Amino acid sequence: MDITTTISALLTLAVFSFLYGDNPVYKFAERLLVGLAVGYALVINWQQTIIDRLYTPLFIDGRLALVVALVLGLLMFSRFKRSWAWLSGIPLAAMIGAGAGAALPAMLEARIFKQLSATVAVFHDASGAFEMFSAIVLLVGFVTTLGYFYFGVHRSNALAVSSKIGSYFLMIFFGATFGYTVMSRMSILIGRLDFLMRDWLGVIG
């Protein structure tokens, strides 16, 4: 067994000790994790972004267009001086403008248009009674759930019934998501216990 396995196992136990109550051993492990994660992200970002995408292409390969990116990036640091802080609005405006411009059509297309057309297309693609039934459930779920979030008008009887049905669909969704989340968290615990018993203690073959 190598030293890294032992360190990893001891840190796992240190984190598990929180289940009994907050304690210095847990605090140490928690702070070590935060520190390492930040340090690691900094190093990776420095090498793979600043060096690979800016320093090397600009100062070694001579791609002068990157001066614009360098200046915009440096302007972000103007926030540290109150009288210059307004300058940081320039790179922020560029980021938000470009980000929203790229995101809007893509999100509309993928999240709304394609999902909407799929809700209707299942009727066309349904080849049997069960598929048709599923398509109807999907459509009813879609319309009633949307109705549940329609707060702008007085809730007539029809809308009240529709939103009640919508709320049941929502509950089913939340129930399924909760079930999957429990499964996910259990998987993580199983992974760590398997590591402790197999790789560290060797009690599982």
Partner 1 sequence: MSDTQTRRAQKTRRLIFSGVFLSITIGLLLPFQPEVTPSVGTKSMFSFIENIKPGSTILISFDHESASFPEMKPLAIAVVSHLLKRDVKIIAISLFPEGAGLGASLLRRLGEENKKTYGTDFVFLGFKPEPRATILGMGKSFSFVFPFDFYGTKTSDLPIMSADRYSDVVGVITIADGSYPSHWIEYGAAKYELIVLSALAASMVTSYDPYVTSGQLHSILGGLRGAAEYESLLNVDGGGSRAMLAQTAAHIFIVLILIVGNISYLRSRKKKV
Residues found near partner 1 in the complex (CB under 8 A): 19-20, 37, 40-41, 44-45, 48-49, 52-53, 56-57, 99, 102-103, 106-107, 109-111, 114-115, 117-118, 122, 138, 173, 176-177, 180-195, 197, 203-204
Minimum CB separation from partner 1 for residue 102, in Å? 6
Shortest distance, position 119 Cβ to partner 1, whole Å: 8
- Collapsing DSSP states into helix, strand and coil, what is residue 32? helix
Angle at 49 between CA 45 and CA 50, to 5 degrees: 95
* Closer residue to partner 1 (CB): 110 or 132: 110
Instruction: Choose between 67 and 112: whose C-beta lies nearer to partner 1.
Output: 112
Helix (H, G, I), strand (E, B) or coil at 125: helix
- Label residue 162 exposed, middle or buried (CB < 10 Å: 0-12, 13-18, 19+): buried
27: how many CB neighbours lie within 10 A of its CB?
Answer: 13
- Could you tell me which of 53, 68, 11, 57 has the C-alpha nearest to residue 34? 11
Cβ of residue 162: shortest distance to partner 1, in angstroms?
Answer: 20
- Please, what is the Cα angle at 35 between 34 and 37, to 5 degrees? 65
In whole angstroms, the minimum distance from the beta carbon of 112 to partner 1 comes to 11
Q: Given the complex with partner 1, which of 11 and 159 has the nearer CB atom? A: 11
Q: How far is the CB of 122 from partner 1 (least distance, A)?
A: 7
Give the SS3 label for residue 134. helix
> To 5 degrees, how large is the angle CA 84–CA 90–CA 96?
135
Question: 6 vs 177, which CB is nearer to partner 1?
Answer: 177
* Nearer of residues 64 and 183 to partner 1, judged by Cβ: 183
